[in-house]
Amino acid sequence: MGAFQNISRLADVATVLAKNGFADLATRLDLPGWKPGGPHLAGEKLARRYSVGARLRMVAEDLGPTFVKLGQLVSLRPDLLPKDVVLELRLLQDRVTPEPLGAILDEVHKSLGRPLAEVYEDFSPEPLASASLAQVHRARRKDDGRWVAVKVRRPRILTVVEADLALLAALARTLHQRVEYLKPYNLPDLVAEITLHLRQEMDFSLEARHMQNARAQQGPKAQVDIPAPHLDLCCPSLLTMDLVIGTRLEEAALTTPQKKALARQLAGTILEQVLKHGFFHADPHPGNILVQSGGLEPRLALLDWGLVGRLTPKMRFLVGDLLIAAVEREPLDLVRALQAMGAAPAQGDEAALAHDVEELLERVHSVPLQQIDTSALILDLMDLMRVHHLRVQPQYALLDKAFMEMEGLARELDPDFDAVEVARPFVGSLWLERWRPDLVYKMARRHVREGLDLLKDLPGRLDRLLGLMERGEMSMEFKHKGLVPLTKAIQDSSNRVTMGLIVAALIVGSSMIITTGVEPKIFGLPALGLIGYLFSGIAGLWLVWSIFRSGRF
């Protein structure tokens, strides 16, 4: 049955690819279910009307919720995919028809290991939200009467997702082997990366820990609310958390000053998470934000902590260096920051990269500083990195997504939003943190310890190296780019010297024969001597011509 389902799914993939103008990929993949004509012809017309990115988005939408989620995750890598493809995939909407209530209640029972009536009461039959992986219902705890939101994983979704992931991995390997122009994108590695992200998103116990961490790092003056998880009612397939009463951002009735305040709240929260704590919400799009209007002033609540990013202190400092270099228009500093972030190519042209970065900064700084679109700048930098075959660590790609969505939403609330102004105090604090005496001391102590460890291990390493040399188990190969022309020059010179010696020997030998007067003779002179002179003359002229032609004399 599983094999039949896989063949059926492959046939679906073939049909959808052909219908959306990717019949050549269906052919190269040798997928069942695709034949010339029908969807193939319709796809050719579609290809003339829409870009590759738009058609890839259509493919994901046609293949269903799993591929929609996969498309969203693929859009996290603008350093690997063209800019237009990334922007189109980020338009994918993760909204699907809710599961029947009976199936959800069965899933809750199975997840908790006890009847739903023992845990919740007033379990709402209508979901608050419905997505491809889960849906959320309102309920009330039976033990203390608190209202909660219950996020339940869709029944059988694990089986469906794992089957689609296995299929996608096989298709990625085949495309990587058979389609030459797709090899630079390294599709198998990209699929492996999004598979990891997707599996983490489906583990709701992990999301509960993310919410705990985010709440713990918030200060007493937190500008954004994060629901508290109820850990006693959480497991991989179910998440219980405080119920947040609010309105979707686009539906909230807000005044202009309130919109401006909320824009700064959101931006300040994300920047604090990234630059101060290194633990941040990586998906702050409008669907994950609610506006609460119960107090004197509206507040934002940040929901759905399935996708988060983590930065080490060193990574945070590098992000600060990157932002400073971009704002202060220092292309070489920007290139160095990219290289330190793991973006340096194995065989790259640093000068060419610096030139392209400088051109990008010129375009960015052609507008006043307060109007700089930092999210567009980051996306353009990622696109440059793709062109120069650079690759960053996944956490930096998550940061790019978080910054882009945060700034885009802030500008929707406040068209005059100044990202540079909001970021300035956080970048300044980050710079001061880097040179705090305790951190400098810790860094110096680490370097000293590493140096002492190296000195301690050096005798043993040298002993092992000498042992390999003594046993003949180590070989060394030297190669220098300048040695190949040098070797050729030596060969050419030796050939000419040899030819010169042969010519000289012919002349001397012919002269000796001429003096002997041996028969036969031509024009009264020995024939062998004349033939020797003839050959030596021809060889000598050829040698002189080759020297002049080479230009080296």
Residues 6 or more apart from 540 whose CB is under 8 A from it? 503
Contact yes or no for 275/424 (Cβ under 8 A)? no
**What pairing do the DSSP bridges indicate for beta strands 299-302 and 224-225?**
parallel
> Scanning the structure block, which residue is given the tokens 């007493």?
220
Structure tokens belonging to residue 284:
């702050």
> Average pLDDT in the 75-99 region?
80
**Residues in CB range of 375: below 8 A, 6 or more apart:** 403, 404, 405, 406, 407, 408, 419
Nearest to 403, CA basis, from 500, 524, 266: 266
Q: What is the mean pLDDT of residues 503-520?
A: 68
Residue 336: predicted pLDDT: 83
pLDDT band at 485 (very low <50, low <70, confident <90, very high): low
Residue 549 pLDDT grade (very low, low, confident, very high; cuts 50, 70, 90) = low
304 annotated active-site: no
CA count, 13 A, side-chain hemisphere, 226? 27
Instruction: Round the average pLDDT of the chain to a whole number and report it.
Output: 81
Stretch among 63-72, 75-84, 223-232, 515-524 having the lowest mean pLDDT: 515-524
Q: What is the pLDDT of residue 551?
A: 52
3-state secondary structure of 533: helix
Q: Is the pLDDT of residue 227 over 90?
A: yes
User: Residue 2: pLDDT band by 50, 70, 90 thresholds?
Assistant: very low
Q: How confident is the model at residue 453 (pLDDT cuts 50, 70, 90)?
A: confident
What integer pLDDT is reported at residue 110 of this predicted model?
A: 93
What pLDDT is recorded for position 500? 67
Name the more confident of 111 and 530. 111
**Average pLDDT of the segment spanning 10-36:** 77
Cβ atoms within 10 A of the Cβ of 201, count?
A: 21
Q: Which H or E element spans position 148?
A: strand 147-153
Report whether pLDDT(519) > 80. no
pLDDT in tens, 326-338: 888 888 888 888 8
pLDDT recorded at residue 28:
76
Q: What percent of the chain has pLDDT over 90?
A: 24
Q: CA end-to-end span of the chain, whole Å?
A: 80
Q: Is the dihedral of CA 356, 362, 367, 371 positive or negative?
A: positive
Q: What is the pLDDT of residue 120?
A: 94
In this prediction, residue 544 carries a pLDDT of: 64
Q: Is 89 exposed, middle or buried (0-12, 13-18, 19+ CB in 10 A)?
A: buried
Average of per-residue pLDDT across 355-383: 78
Q: Please tell me the predicted confidence (pLDDT) of residue 241.
A: 97
Q: Are strands 120-121 and 134-141 parallel, antiparallel or unpaired?
A: antiparallel
Residues 6+ apart with CB under 8 A from 433: 439
Does residue 499 register a pLDDT over 70? Answer: no
The catalytic position among 79, 283, 380, 383 is: 283
Question: What average pLDDT does range 382-405 have in this prediction?
Answer: 81
Is the pTM higher than 0.85? The answer reads no
Residue 342: exposed, middle, or buried by beta-carbon count in 10 A (0-12, 13-18, 19+)? Answer: middle
Lowest mean pLDDT among 39-53, 235-249, 254-268, 269-283: 39-53
Tell me the C-alpha to C-alpha distance, in Å, between residue 215 and each of 112, 200, 277, 301, 474. 25, 20, 12, 12, 56
Specify which residues 301 forms β-bridges with: 225, 290
Question: Do the beta carbons of residue 365 and residue 411 sit within 8 Å?
Answer: no
Tell me the pLDDT band of 464, cut-offs 50, 70 and 90: confident
Ranges of H-type helices in 179-248: 187-201, 204-217
